Structure 1
Amino acid sequence: MLRGVATISIYAEDHAAASAWYTQVLGLEPYYRVPGYHEWRVGDLEHELGLIDAAYAPPNALGEPGGAVVLWHVDDLEAAHERLLALGATPREPVTERGEGFRTAVVVDPFGNLLGIMQNPHYVEVVGRRTAG
């Protein structure tokens, strides 16, 4: 039934500042822009990250960060974590060993969204199979 991540949506009250921040974090400009919505294609599989102006958020969607945490694979967890903090994110969950090569960390972006990062050997394996074939 679930075939893959199509779009991950996050909200920001200051849409312009959030777009600039994510452009800096990702190192690329949004490929799609309409007023109140910007979207980037991210990573090996070009998952979509959508940034939505908070004016369009469903009722009660904003407030304390919580709910599902999307964990993005990174090659160097410590370096990615430190870079996010240097760019203004705040720590939520420190670099944590999960066992068998899995390590995670979670920050809160300057706009109140949870942003998870992970070293994930399964991700590396899947991408390796896709690029080898």
Structure 2
Amino acid sequence: MATLNLWADDLDAAAAWYARVLGVEPYYAVPGGYVEFRIGDRLDELGIIARAYSPHPQPDAPGGAIVNWHVDDVRATFARLLHLGATEYEGVVERGNGEGFVTAAVVDPFGNVLGIMENPHYLEMLDRGPR
């Protein structure tokens, strides 16, 4: 993944909400059009685009692909996201056979699905470093 882009009707509100969620300010912004954050262990890019610039009609309900961001504690992160104004899309689910894969997903206040995951495979790959 290089960049994950989300849509928002109110770009300023989305930028402020994600800055609070992520604990960092956007590193790049085009006023009224786009903001971008660098986050995580590899400084992945999370972009938020003003919905007015969408080249295609946007769905009325959240859905589509879910990108899961690795977190150290899904339950605590899920609770924090709900406290900050997200709504539940899928509650905490233990995946696999007790191998440590745990997921949950919320809908941000702007209609985007945001997945979170505890993923031992991700941590293993992170320990190996770049290839």
TM range (shorter): over 0.9
Distance in 2 (alpha carbons) for counterparts of 1:106 and 1:128: 26
5+ residue gaps in structure 2?
none
Structure 1 residue 42: Cα displacement: 1.0
In the TM superposition, 1:90-129 aligns within 5 A as: 90-99=87-96, 100-129=99-128
Q: Give me the TM-score of the superposition, normalised by structure 2.
A: 0.94
Give the length in aligned residue pairs.
Answer: 128
Q: Does 1:74 align with 2:71?
A: yes
Identity of aligned residues (%): 59
Query: Over residues 60-113 of structure 1, what are the superposed CA-to-partner deviations in whole Å (9 max), with x where a residue is unaligned?
Result: 224211110000000011110000000000001000010221110000000000
Give 1:41's aligned residue: 38
Q: Where has structure 1 moved over 6 Å in runs of 4 or more?
A: none
Distance in 1 (alpha carbons) for counterparts of 2:68 and 2:55: 23
5+ residue gaps in structure 1?
none
Q: Give me the TM-score of the superposition, normalised by structure 1.
A: 0.92
Query: Over residues 15-70 of structure 1, what are the superposed CA-to-partner deviations in whole Å (9 max), with x where a residue is unaligned?
Result: 11010000000000001111210000110011100000010112222421111000
